[in-house]
Amino acid sequence: MLAVRDLSVEVGGKLTLAGASFQVRTGDKVGLVGRNGAGKTSLFRVLAGDRPPFAGKVEVVGRFGYLGQEPPRMDAGITALAHVLSGRGLDELGTRLEKLRIQVEEDPSERNLARFARTQEAFEHADGYAAEAEVRRLCAGLGLQADRVDRPVAVLSGGERRRVELARILFAGADVLLLDEPTNHLDLDAKAWLLDHLRQYRGALLVISHDLELLDESIDRVLHLDEGTLVEYKGTYSQYKAQRAADEERRGKLAGRQAAEIQRLANLADSMRGQTAKRARTAKTLDKRVERLETTRITGPKAERGLQVRLPDPPHAGRTVLEVEGLTKGYGGPPVFEGASFALERGERILVMGLNGAGKTSLLRILTGLTDADGGSFSLGHGVSAGYFAQEHEGIQAGQTVVSQVLGKAPALKSTEARALLGMFGIRGDMAFQDAGTLSGGEKTKVALATLVAGGHNLLLLDEPTNNLDPPSREAIGRALAGWKGSMVLVSHDTDFVRALAPQKVLLLPDATLDYWTDDLLELVALA
C-alpha cells in the first residue's frame, strides 16, 4: 500500500503540489494524469524516495518497484539476464552458489559442504532454478529478443535498457508499482503483453502515461494534477474525461454567478456612498459581504495554452544531403545490421524501421558521429548541418539552466530570443532558469527540440521525438515538422506522427532493405 499525507512538492522554487493526501491500496490501479510540466514526474520521484518532499509524508507498505522515464544506471559489464535476476538478488546468490560448488570440489570439508547446502537451500527457496526461464519469458513479452538477453547492457539501446529495467521490476514481484510512461519504446505486441500483465497484477499500481489505451484498459481511478492541486476521479480515463468536462462546465457557471453577484453588490455599495449616514453604513456592510465572497471566490477553468510551433526555413543545402554506403555495425558478435546504403535528397524524409534491437538507434548515432561503424561510410552534402534528437535526452545536462542549454547550441542568440523560442515549445516563465536535470521527460523533449531549432540545421536525425509528449504537444510538433522544408532521418513507433510527416523512403533493418514509402506500411510502424 502507498499512503500519502499532506504532501507538497517543490521544483525550481515553485510548488507543483500543495497539501495532497491519497492512498493506493492493494488491488487499486490508478492513473496520474496532467499536462506536460504539471509535476507528475517530480511527484513520482518524491514517492520513490529519489528526492525529499517539501512537506508531508509518504509511507510504503511492502516491496516497492519504480520505473522512471530515463534509463537507469546499470553495471555496463553485466548481462541483461543478470540485471533482471538482481531484482530478487539471484544474480549474487547464483554466483555465490557456483563459487561454493567449486570450493566443495576442491575441498569437500564439512564446513564447505554446510555452506554450500545452506546457499543451495536459499537458492531453491527463491525459485532460483526456475528463475532464468521466467526472466526470458518476461523479456520476450516486453519485446526483447532472446539473443539480446545474454548481451552486456552496455551494448543495448536506451529503449532496450528501459525494457530490461521494467522486466527486473516485474520479476522482483513488487507490492507497490510506480510506472512512469511504461509503454515508451514498446512495439504493439509488447504493449499488448504489458496491458494484460497489468490487468492481472494484484498489487497497488500508480502509473503515468499518455497512452490512452493503457489508461482505459488498466486503471480504475484517475488522479488529475494541475496548478498544484490533485483531484481524484473514479473510473477509466474516458470516464474521467467526461467527469472532468462536466466539472469544468459546472465550475465555469458557478464562477460566472459569483462574479456577477460580487459586481452587483459592489455597484450597489458604490451607489450608496456619500449619501445619508444610514446608506453609508449599508455600503460598508455590502463591502464586507464582497470581501467574504472574494475570499471564497471560485475561478473558472483555465483554457490550456496550446503549442503554436513554427519552425524557421532551413539553411540552403546542396541537392544531395546525405550519402550512406554499406554501413555495418556489431557489438562483438554477429552484425546488428549490415550493408545499409541510401542517398537522401534536399527536403526528403526517410523512415528507419525494424524490430527492437535491429540497430535503428545505432545507425542514427553513427550518422551523428557519436558511434563508429564497423564497415562502410557516409558523407554529408555541401552546406549540410545535421542535428540529432536522442531518445535518451543525452544533450540535456543536469546542473545547467534550461536557457543555457539553448544558448550553448546557438551562442549567437540573445537570452530573450532563446526564451521566446522555449516559450513556443511551452517552456515558459521561470522554467527557463530551472535546472535542466529536474525537468520531466516531456519537458526535456521540448527543450531538445527547441535546441535543434536554435541550431539552424537543415538535416534532422530524430530518434523517437514524440516520446513523453502529451497528445496536444505531439500533434502541434508533428504539424510543425510536417511543414518544415529540411531533410530528415526518422525513427518512430508513433503511427500518427509518421503519417503526418509522410516520408518518401523507408529503410528496413537489420536487412538494410531500401524501398519507397507507401501508407500500406503504416500498420507496421507500431510493430517495428
Instruction: State how far the Cα of 226 lies from the Cα of 339, in Å rounded to an integer.
Output: 50
* Structure confidence at residue 304 (pLDDT): 55
Structural domain boundaries, residue 412:
320-525
In a domain, 207, yes or no: no
CB-based contact 35:304 (threshold 8 Å): yes
Mean pLDDT, residues 15-28 taken together:
91
CB-based contact 205:29 (threshold 8 Å): yes
Instruction: Look up residue 297 and give its three cell numbers.
Output: 471566490
Amino acid at 452: L
In a domain, 280, yes or no: no
Instruction: State how far the Cα of 453 lies from the Cα of 430, in Å rounded to an integer.
Output: 21
Mean pLDDT score of the chain, rounded to an integer? 85
In a domain, 73, yes or no: no
**Highest mean pLDDT out of 145-159, 421-435, 446-460:** 446-460
Full-model pTM: 0.69
Instruction: State how far the Cα of 251 lies from the Cα of 268, in Å rounded to an integer.
Output: 26
* Structure confidence at residue 107 (pLDDT): 79
Percent of the chain, pLDDT > 70?
Answer: 96
In a domain, 205, yes or no: no
**Left if phi > 0, otherwise alpha if psi is -120 to 50, otherwise beta: which for 277?**
alpha
In a domain, 452, yes or no: yes
DSSP H helical ranges for 273-342: 277-295
pLDDT-based confidence at residue 294 (cuts at 50, 70, 90): confident
* Structure confidence at residue 179 (pLDDT): 92
Instruction: Look up residue 239 and give its three cell numbers.
Output: 470516464
* Structure confidence at residue 300 (pLDDT): 61
In a domain, 369, yes or no: yes
Question: Directed axis angle between helix 158-172 and helix 128-141, to 10°?
Answer: 130
Only one residue has cell 522555449, namely 422
| Structural domains of the chain, count | 1
pLDDT-based confidence at residue 302 (cuts at 50, 70, 90): low
* Structure confidence at residue 368 (pLDDT): 92
CATH number of the domain bearing residue 409: 3.40.50.300
In a domain, 344, yes or no: yes
In a domain, 393, yes or no: yes
Instruction: State how far the Cα of 344 lies from the Cα of 317, in Å rounded to an integer.
Output: 12
How, if at all, do strands 513-516 and 505-508 pair?
Answer: antiparallel
